[in-house]
Amino acid sequence: MKPILMTLTFYKYQGTGNDFIILDNRSGQFPKNNHNLVAKLCDRKFGIGADGLMLLETETNFDFKMVYFNSDGAQSTMCGNGGRCLAAFAKSIGVIGNEGLFNAVDGSHEVVIKEDQVILGMKKVDEVQNKGKYIFLDTGSPHHVQFVSDTEKVNINDQGAKLRYGMYGAQGANINFVSLDSTGLHRIRTYERGVEGETLSCGTGVTAAAIAIHEQNAEYISPISLHTKGGLLKVHFTKVDQGYSKIFLEGPAEFVFKGEISI
């Protein structure tokens, strides 16, 4: 029998179906370098199950710090839905009120909470690479946005993996497929690196897609709404000479359950 090193209290949150394990790590006790442990906790068969794991930590001059791991156990780039969920958690434990400022791997993020909506300030986008058939940009994580006639007819895991590895190599990128349905609604499906498959929603992907939609057709103005498999997200932005600023990702972030697990 393996010895139990510690018992973790965890919180499960989801933002439009993008689900996360959240740990209050202000004490610094969680073994962040144990990537196998993170992967096991995120495993849906042998662990708690999640798209990613987040730690809330202390940070000088900020309300808190966000540390994010993909479900494969590797520490990753920014996660928009994760940031919104972590802010909702921070409010629930009294770290922030309805407004806050936190630090993440891509810099500082302001957040405003209005009832069931969490509005997250995203990093400025300095460059949008319009390749014609697709658009590439970085919204805290690298994103490939490809427009298709119908996202429901795309084999996301197959086509996403081909582009993620074939076009972007070992480092990879997140692959988004976007379509406009007959009712005028933009729909998006995303293959996420680190998860290595489709997730129900991706916040930085939705942000990238909204900007790509405006790049393709300036008649679509801020805010732009996109329907993910897990629900509706809205992106606010301001177009500037070389890119986009004042970018905000808006949507729900919901507590699912709290539990304990021994590691």
pLDDT (0 to 100) of residue 4: 63
202 a catalytic residue: yes
Q: 37 and 89, same structural domain?
A: yes
HSE-CB at 137 with a 13 A cutoff on CA atoms is 28
Does 103 lie in the same domain as 12? yes
Which of 120, 195, 202, 233 is an active site residue? 202
Are 120 and 236 in contact by the 8 Å Cβ rule? The answer is no
DSSP-assigned beta bridge partners for residue 191: 175, 198
136 and 29 within one domain: no
Whether residue 236 contacts residue 122, with contact meaning beta carbons closer than 8 Å, is answered with: no
pLDDT tens string 1-20 = 566 678 999 999 999 999 99
Structure confidence by residue, pLDDT tens digits, 120-150: 999 999 999 999 899 999 999 999 999 999 9
Are 74 and 138 part of one and the same domain?
no
The answer to whether residue 143 is domain-embedded is yes
Q: Based on the domain organization, do 138 and 232 belong to the same domain?
A: yes
Encoded tokens for 128: 């949008």
Answer yes or no: is 13 within a domain.
yes
Q: For residue 133, which of 181, 193, 177 has the smallest C-alpha distance?
A: 177
In a domain, 2, yes or no: no
82: domain CATH number is: 3.10.310.10
| Number of independent structural domains in the chain | 2
184 and 70 co-located in one domain? no
pLDDT digits (tens, 9 = 90+) for 6-60: 899 999 999 999 999 999 999 999 999 999 999 999 999 999 999 999 999 999 9
The structure's pTM equals 0.95
Is 85 considered catalytic here? no
Does the residue 21 lie in any domain?
yes
Question: Among the options 38, 55, 78, 79, which is catalytic?
Answer: 79
- 66 and 137: one domain? no
Query: Which residues, 6 or more positions from 202, have their beta carbon under 8 angstroms from its beta carbon?
Result: 18, 80, 81, 174, 176, 190, 192, 228
Task: Answer yes or no: do 52 and 147 share one domain.
Answer: no
What is the extent of the structural domain holding 143? 128-250
